[in-house]
A and B are shown apart, each in its own frame.
Chain A
């Protein structure tokens, strides 16, 4: 922080200082920036896929069959002669959407629920957390299968269903954080200033509980992607000729010995996404911790 004398606050941006400072710190973390760039690239490609994909994803070429990478098909083709690069690009649309939307659902419900339960304490906390326990106890596959059976196979529903399962752990982590924060004197000071409970949770509690939440979020996104692959494999998620990274990997694994590129390239993009998320997550956690390294 500069030591330029401040006599008026004209030069100090007000109100969003935590986020602005976090961004400044994040910009100095190269690994996190690289992760951010990779994710941004993948998302951009996913959005533009219908226009930039080299082939039609459903177009088969049975004469060609499974061919290794070549000038025409950079990443090779699958056993039906479909271009693998195109498949990965279209698969990324599904996988990234599932990963981010389902995790966002989990994040919003989980953080909100956990923060309120932890802050309210007492009976409200007991009721809210027992509900979480009950949902935990339900075999979640059955829960998702039931949802799919009742409402039909619907991609949006898939997002919501996975999110609705993943928020439980998020809520527990958040509640534990909030319970310890609630004892802190700065929260008591906020009460004595006359702030309302919701403002206290939003301004004083949640920002101080973000560290573990961010780390858990970056772990949730890939696990959600794999969950989608599993559901798709069972026939509950996306169906061919539509595809996702998870599906490509599971098909690739079957033919790994004859056509290794069918496993290698989808696996590579998933791994890259994972690394990018991890680095970005660590970077975000450090950036949001004001006690971390400053200039």
Chain B
């Protein structure tokens, strides 16, 4: 149905001409799903946007290639004709549904608008069709929710609305760019299933773009692996997963978190003991119980996994432990001292012993401080080094986290995401803390980088005898790292058990749901 040949797209930038897409071929067959896999910067999105005339030219330029879609070459069509096809026969679903919906317009009106103006449907007819579509994509009680504004939906429901909008004109091809990346795992599983159902029912072709092999493991028929603008491997799903040929594909497969940490001996005395912790916020005169009556222990030397979906309160909990967010009530005993009740002076010396690593390495480093300044700051603050000895220690830390020494005077924006996360880890470890909270520390990274950082964290945790609270939405990652797991849902602990028990004998339904939603279970 769609056949792309020899597509080459280049961008002219400050550093000269960059070939973002280099001689790429792929095709999509009606009723089947083709997945393009690659890490950020691999050209996977550019190649699809290029087909639809959605890359700005200049700086972009389509150098060569053809894209046959229903007997038309998309690359030869003029703007007007292309726009027609884009609206009618090819539809797109993007990563972040919030930015694609008009926040001031009711969802129903946004669905009805194209029906009325492009297809000339009457008001009642458009409404009936909109209701049908909403029901088809699994939105509950469409008769009521048709009058909702986008913000009244959850992320998953908004993505369903986006899919409904994409289906309005009965497209033949659906292009989904990272459609589930912004969603929780359980919701991700539902959306992927929805796409499969729609495909089976309407016999459309789906082109899915993703950075995550595990996500497409269950739905893709054909898989194309891209690296640095080139297709390095293509094949059907079974071949790619069972007999990958190219070393890069093997590396991607090896990076999918799997396996389980060997249980390590745990000392019986807790380093951190949380008792009946509550962290509540006042919001528009409503009390939001972000963390509600939570009690657990973190034992010396263990990695405790804290898993939960967005809104479960897991990040608030992690921040409360370090007193970054004031707790409402309860106790946090760190080595016997109550963190909440401490005076500012005592808190400062305690802060040396507990540190945090954040999710977004782009936001967690001061953009105007060099690596040197970032790493030297905690050392000087806690008087661990003098002005004359600090430089040597900074370089040692860089060695430890695997950053080349000549980067010492560079600013954060000059690094990749993985390198920045190494800086953040270095800063957290600089004071030689005993306890680390890692809040989604690898979630923002590409899979291969994620695997490297996880390995680094594991090594460092062992070397330094660290105790860690590892917060993540991703059970597969947690399984790889954690000795025990706490499951958090709506601010309350649903279940806590050691890793093996939790995976093999989950007690609660919610835990079971989470386990079932792990993408690419067949690979584990």
A and B: bona fide binding partners: yes
Give the B-binding residues of A (Cβ under 8 A).
1, 3-9, 12, 14-15, 17-18, 184-186, 188-195, 203-204, 207-208, 288, 290-291, 293-294
Is B366 within 8 A of A186, CB to CB? yes
Bound Cα distance A12, B364 (Å): 24
Q: Choose, from B158-166, B199-207, B368-376, the stretch at the interface.
A: B368-376
Chain B residues with CB under 8 A of A184: 363-364
Bound Cα distance A293, B14 (Å): 10
* 13 A-B residue pairs with CB within 8 Å: A8-B395, A9-B391, A9-B408, A186-B364, A186-B365, A186-B366, A188-B356, A189-B358, A189-B364, A192-B351, A192-B354, A192-B356, A194-B348
Is B373 within 8 A of A17, CB to CB? yes
Q: Is B405 an interface residue (CB 8 A)?
A: yes
Chain B residues with CB under 8 A of A188: 319, 324, 356, 358, 364
Chain A residues with CB under 8 A of B511: none
Chain B residues with CB under 8 A of A14: 372, 376, 387, 391
Is A290 within 8 A of B372, CB to CB? no
Bound Cα distance A8, B387 (Å): 13
Is B322 within 8 A of A290, CB to CB? no
Shortest distance between the CB of B134 and any CB in chain A (Å)? 35
- Known contacts A189-B358, A194-B348, A194-B352: does B367 contact A17 (CB below 8 Å)? no
* CB interface residues, B 350-399, toward A, < 8 Å: 351-352, 354-356, 358-360, 363-370, 372-373, 376-378, 381-382, 387, 391-392, 394-395
Q: Is B476 an interface residue (CB 8 A)?
A: no
Number of A-B contacts (CB under 8 A): 106
Q: Is B482 an interface residue (CB 8 A)?
A: no
Q: Is B10 an interface residue (CB 8 A)?
A: no
Cβ-defined partner of B368 (8 Å) among A12, A208, A293, A294: A208
Give the A-binding residues of B (Cβ under 8 A).
14, 319, 322, 324, 347-349, 351-352, 354-356, 358-360, 363-370, 372-373, 376-378, 381-382, 387, 391-392, 394-395, 405-406, 408-411, 413-414, 424, 427, 431
Is A7 within 8 A of B381, CB to CB? no
Q: Name which residue of chain A comes closest to B349, CB basis.
A: A194
Bound Cα distance A15, B373 (Å): 7
Bound Cα distance A291, B378 (Å): 24
Q: Name which residue of chain A comes closest to B366, CB basis.
A: A186
Chain A residues with CB under 8 A of B354: 192
Shortest distance between the CB of A218 and any CB in chain B (Å)? 20
Is B395 within 8 A of A194, CB to CB? no
Is A290 within 8 A of B413, CB to CB? yes
Chain A residues with CB under 8 A of B356: 188-189, 192
**Residues of A contacting B: mostly:** loop
Is B347 within 8 A of A185, CB to CB? no
Is A207 within 8 A of B377, CB to CB? no
Bound Cα distance A253, B211 (Å): 67
Shortest distance between the CB of B509 and any CB in chain A (Å)? 34
Bound Cα distance A193, B358 (Å): 13
Is B368 within 8 A of A5, CB to CB? no
Is B406 within 8 A of A290, CB to CB? no
Is B381 within 8 A of A8, CB to CB? no
Bound Cα distance A180, B351 (Å): 24
Cβ-defined partner of B406 (8 Å) among A4, A15, A189: A4
Chain A residues with CB under 8 A of B391: 8-9, 12, 14
Is A17 within 8 A of B363, CB to CB? no
Is A291 within 8 A of B413, CB to CB? yes
Shortest distance between the CB of B133 and any CB in chain A (Å)? 37
Is B324 within 8 A of A192, CB to CB? yes
Instruction: Return the 6 tightest CB-CB contacts between A and B, nearest first.
Output: A194-B351, A9-B391, A185-B364, A194-B348, A185-B358, A185-B363
Q: Name which residue of chain B comes closest to A205, CB basis.
A: B366
Is A193 within 8 A of B378, CB to CB? yes
Bound Cα distance A208, B352 (Å): 25
Chain A residues with CB under 8 A of B410: 1
Cβ-defined partner of B360 (8 Å) among A5, A185, A204: A185
Is A3 within 8 A of B413, CB to CB? no
Shortest distance between the CB of B376 and any CB in chain A (Å)? 8
Cβ-defined partner of B408 (8 Å) among A6, A189, A192, A193: A6
Shortest distance between the CB of A7 and any CB in chain B (Å)? 6
Q: Name which residue of chain B comes closest to A288, CB basis.
A: B368
Chain A residues with CB under 8 A of B355: 192-193
Shortest distance between the CB of A15 and any CB in chain B (Å)? 8
Is B411 within 8 A of A6, CB to CB? no
Q: Name which residue of chain B comes closest to A15, CB basis.
A: B373
Q: Name which residue of chain A comes closest to B354, CB basis.
A: A192
- Known contacts A1-B409, A5-B405, A189-B364: does B370 contact A17 (CB below 8 Å)? yes
Q: Name which residue of chain B comes closest to A186, CB basis.
A: B366
Cβ-defined partner of B367 (8 Å) among A12, A195, A208: A208
Is B411 within 8 A of A189, CB to CB? no
Is B406 within 8 A of A5, CB to CB? yes
Q: Name which residue of chain A comes closest to B364, CB basis.
A: A185
Bound Cα distance A130, B387 (Å): 43
Is B406 within 8 A of A6, CB to CB? yes
Bound Cα distance A228, B74 (Å): 64
Bound Cα distance A71, B391 (Å): 64
Chain B residues with CB under 8 A of A15: 373
Bound Cα distance A293, B394 (Å): 27
Is B347 within 8 A of A12, CB to CB? no
Chain A residues with CB under 8 A of B377: 190, 193, 195, 203
Bound Cα distance A294, B15 (Å): 12
Chain A residues with CB under 8 A of B376: 14
Bound Cα distance A158, B246 (Å): 76
Q: Name which residue of chain B comes closest to A187, CB basis.
A: B366
Chain A residues with CB under 8 A of B351: 192-194
Shortest distance between the CB of B383 and any CB in chain A (Å)? 11
Shortest distance between the CB of A69 and any CB in chain B (Å)? 48
Chain A residues with CB under 8 A of B378: 193-194
- Known contacts A4-B406, A189-B356: does B368 contact A207 (CB below 8 Å)? yes
Is A8 within 8 A of B392, CB to CB? yes
Chain A residues with CB under 8 A of B14: 293
Is B364 within 8 A of A290, CB to CB? no
Is B381 within 8 A of A195, CB to CB? yes
Bound Cα distance A165, B311 (Å): 45
Is B382 within 8 A of A194, CB to CB? yes
Cβ-defined partner of B381 (8 Å) among A6, A193, A288: A193
Cβ-defined partner of B411 (8 Å) among A191, A195, A290: A290
Shortest distance between the CB of A109 and any CB in chain B (Å)? 23
